[in-house]
Amino acid sequence: MKILVVGTGAREHAIVHALAHEADRPGAEPHELHAAPGNPGIGGLATLHAVDQNDGAAVAALATHLGVDLVVVGPEAPLVAGVGDAVREAGIPVFGPSAEAARLEGSKAFAKDVMAAASVPTALAHVCTDVDQVAAAVDAFGAPYVIKDDGLAAGKGVVVTEDRQAALEHAAACFATPRRAADGTPEDPRVVVEEYLDGPEVSLFCVSDGATVVPLAPAQDFKRAFDADAGPNTGGMGAYSPLPWAPEGLVDEVVTRVAQPTIDEMARRGTPFVGVLYVGLALTSRGTRVVEFNARFGDPETQSVLTRLATPLSAVMLAAAQGRLAEIGALRWHDDASVTVVVAAHGYPGAVRGGDPITGIDAAEDVEGVHVLHAGTSRADDGGLVASGGRVLSVVARGADLAEARRRAYAAVDRIVLPGSHHRTDIAAKAAAGDVTLAG
């Protein structure tokens, strides 16, 4: 197949990596892979094209020029901007929802409305349009306070805090940020205040063709910047899969009670959802509850999940794009475990320092079971690899179990040199030790 992957991050590198390694299967033919605009790591596996990922017309023109069989739109911003719509209008199969369907991520208030209509279990919430309403809502729910920017915020629009003043300040900052709809018209900012959900969180990706739902393996990510879940929220500092502590039947429960009703409700509204519905869950003392929906693969969970997928990813995505997902059946998985550790730039998740040189990736990949995915990297004038974003690299390791995958991941991280960088040292530590407890 000839496939174009849209995006620049480690999630897109993970997708390209999975597609490239399908050629390792006996008798398999290699795909012709393209990326727009991609990153230096993706460039080692695919042809890069300097196209704005948020420009639907430009992406559609590139896909048409290349004659691709499938376009995969990775990040949320192009989806909400309607890049998938533009490519579909050009007659090319797209893995990724329309702009209307992507509102499940683009607006948390819209997602709550869909969940209510589909009877999906989720946190109680108030949608607020000013700080006074937020103050009333946080006082009604009590601490810990959960404050969410209604729109896209690159994984950093959520604050969970015991500090009422910090909660109100985050809300005020959300209201002060200008918002625009997908068509460019200004929108009034909104903030969603939710009740706090106890218990461990789980991420489950569910692939849909607008009617059929096929779940992937669950994963868990780590949102806080530092060990022991200290520090501010980030886009994700690491992840692992599978979850040996997850309740039996969890995936079936989520498909039956959450994913399928949501997909059915979107179809009923005339906006069928095609792509990945990311279901963020909390396993609370009152049962499974939805924390959030995303309209694409999550980062960094994708890095750990896709490396364990035995079913060809290309077949799954093309079947979803063409409305044939029921033909795929249950997915096949490798029996091993995967741990992903994110190496972040100096200052992340605040103001980051760019331009620091990166070395040691080849040495890291010499560790058995390890590959390194690029997120915030670029080439300097001299051709050297440098940091150019907050989350710079994802170090992905597979092992017979989580303990072995952890050892390999951190052995590889230790070989990477990035001045001023930081990473969490406790990714999957509790799960590997059997110390994850469910709310009771």
Q: What is the mean pLDDT of residues 24-38?
A: 93
Tell me which H or E stretch contains 263.
helix 260-268
* Distance in angstroms (rounded) separating the CA atoms of residues 432 and 371: 20
β partners of residue 213: 208
Would you say residue 155 has pLDDT above 60? no
Would you say residue 197 has pLDDT above 70? yes
* Distance in angstroms (rounded) separating the CA atoms of residues 293 and 416: 34
Q: What is the mean pLDDT of residues 230-236?
A: 92
* Distance in angstroms (rounded) separating the CA atoms of residues 341 and 397: 9
Q: Which residues contact 137 (CB under 8 A, 6 or more apart)?
A: 126, 128, 193
Read off the pLDDT of residues 336-372 as tens digits, 9 standing for 90 and up: 999 999 999 999 999 999 999 999 999 999 999 999 9
pLDDT band at residue 182 under the 50/70/90 scheme: low
Q: What is the mean pLDDT of residues 70-76?
A: 97
pLDDT band at residue 106 under the 50/70/90 scheme: confident
Q: What is the mean pLDDT of residues 123-131?
A: 87
DSSP string over 347-412? TTTSSPPP--B-B-HHHHHTSTTEEEEESSEEE-TTS-EEE-SSEEEEEEEEESSHHHHHHHHHHH
Would you say residue 183 has pLDDT above 70? no
Would you say residue 162 has pLDDT above 60? yes
Domains of the chain as residue ranges with CATH: 2-98 (3.40.50.20), 125-194 (3.30.1490.20), 201-433 (3.30.470.20)
Please choose, from the candidates 372, 346, 342, 370, the residue with its C-alpha nearest in 3D space to the C-alpha of residue 357: 346
* Distance in angstroms (rounded) separating the CA atoms of residues 379 and 300: 23
pTM of the predicted protein model? 0.91
> Which tokens sit at 386?
């440098």
> Do the beta carbons of residue 12 and residue 84 sit within 8 Å?
no
- pLDDT > 90: what percent of the chain? 78
> What pLDDT does residue 314 have?
98
Region of poorest pLDDT, from 62-76, 176-190, 217-231, 411-425: 176-190
Q: What do you get for the CA distance between the two ends of the chain, in Å?
A: 48
Q: Which residues contact 400 (CB under 8 A, 6 or more apart)?
A: 336, 337
Q: What is the mean pLDDT of residues 136-153?
A: 84
Would you say residue 399 has pLDDT above 90? yes
* Distance in angstroms (rounded) separating the CA atoms of residues 205 and 260: 12
> What pLDDT does residue 181 have?
63
> What pLDDT does residue 157 have?
73
> Do the beta carbons of residue 122 and residue 197 sit within 8 Å?
no
Q: Give the number of other Cβ atoms within 10 Å of residue 78's Cβ.
A: 26
> What pLDDT does residue 343 have?
98
> Do the beta carbons of residue 25 and residue 91 sit within 8 Å?
no
